[in-house]
Structure 1
């Protein structure tokens, strides 16, 4: 039996942006946030949009995004150039607030949409897995017991993946307790990003 042809990326993105499959669980309603192009070489997989991103519809448009762009040493115009950088969160919509921060990404998104998106982005060379949810989805049984252990083992996942902590200001204690991250991982990250963006 012949496989169904891939739908064009603009059609797939339109379907994602119109998705309402988990709207009953979203206190602020669906507003999927995604950025993708067949020419993108860097893929950023985060967790789920926060409230500010939900309000603006712009991915990583918050203090977490500022820290992430600083890690990458990447200006906003490059970061938001979909021809170079794809941004595909584990959950596309803001899941709402929990007791200690935002709720986890909705589980429906990644299984429904990630594989079709990745098939249409054949030039991706490096995928940043930001936060535990992205790491668990992509690394599966190859992830370590904790986020800290997974990020500390970053060399094991190259050249395809680079696991990172979430750059949220809420994680300041983690950054203080794990100074090796800024010292060892960030310079390697910047070097790889520079090669990807300038090649």
Structure 2
């Protein structure tokens, strides 16, 4: 008798509970709830950090003010962004990691990337445009480095790969300190995304 086929990678990740004890010990004492939002054939890959509390509750990645800012950076509306045919979202940690004692987000557990990242990326394929958001994703894909240096040197990897700061509103001061990001980087990023969504490889 032939063994049953393994479930698709997104379904396997959705069922993952390897961090149950870890999350139970956080200030939020929450259960694992992977936010899985990718499929084959998407034109944009968003390699991000981990879902926040609002995404944990809604089951939709970037369902918060940082998502509003990210969609503005990309030049897309919510319907386009949350259409898995357009955008694959593969974070370093698929679950909300919880808050620390000071109320900040705990870093994504490394075991999540070790367990799932390669399989998730292989399932998603190779979209024409990849956004590496924040230091965790950038270090995994590119090796150790400084976020600001990588964002400033966007021309070295564009138009396929774009290093971006995290769109959290906590980074508003960073944006004011580096006006070239909005003046130079974002127009080029939006053009690459428009081309990718139209089906032409930039």
Structure 1 length-normalised TM: 0.89
Contact 1:130–1:163 (Cα < 8 Å) also in 2:
yes
Q: How many residues of Structure 1 are paired with residues of Structure 2 in the alignment?
A: 189
For residues 168-196 of structure 1, the C-alpha deviation after alignment (integer angstroms, 9 at most, x for no partner) is 11111111111111111101110000001
1:41 alignment counterpart: 43
1:158 alignment counterpart: 158
For residues 70-121 of structure 1, the C-alpha deviation after alignment (integer angstroms, 9 at most, x for no partner) is 1111011111111121011111111111236211111111121121122223
1:119 alignment counterpart: 122
* 2:17 aligned to which of 8, 15, 20: 20
In the alignment, the residues of structure 2 paired with residue 124 and residue 132 of structure 1 have an alpha-carbon distance, to the nearest angstrom, of 21
Query: SS of the counterpart of 2:143?
Result: helix
1:31 alignment counterpart: 33
- Superposition pairs of residues 42-61 of structure 1, within 5 angstroms: 42-61=44-63
Structure 2 length-normalised TM: 0.88
Contact 2:159–2:192 (Cα < 8 Å) also in 1:
no
- Which 5+ residue runs of structure 2 have no aligned equivalent? 24-28
Q: Is 188-197 or 158-167 further displaced after alignment?
A: 158-167
Q: Is 59-68 or 117-126 further displaced after alignment?
A: 117-126
Contact 2:54–2:63 (Cα < 8 Å) also in 1:
yes
CA gap of 1:100–1:139, structure 2 versus 1, over 3 A, is farther
* CA RMSD, 1 decimal: 1.6
Q: Is 157-166 or 74-83 further displaced after alignment?
A: 157-166
For residues 118-158 of structure 1, the C-alpha deviation after alignment (integer angstroms, 9 at most, x for no partner) is 222334121101111111111115xx3x2111111122223
2:171 alignment counterpart: 171
For residues 17-57 of structure 1, the C-alpha deviation after alignment (integer angstroms, 9 at most, x for no partner) is 11011121113110111211211121001111111111111
- Superposition pairs of residues 140-159 of structure 1, within 5 angstroms: 140-141=143-144, 144=145, 146-159=146-159
Contact 1:132–1:147 (Cα < 8 Å) also in 2:
yes
Are residue 138 (structure 1) and residue 135 (structure 2) matched? no
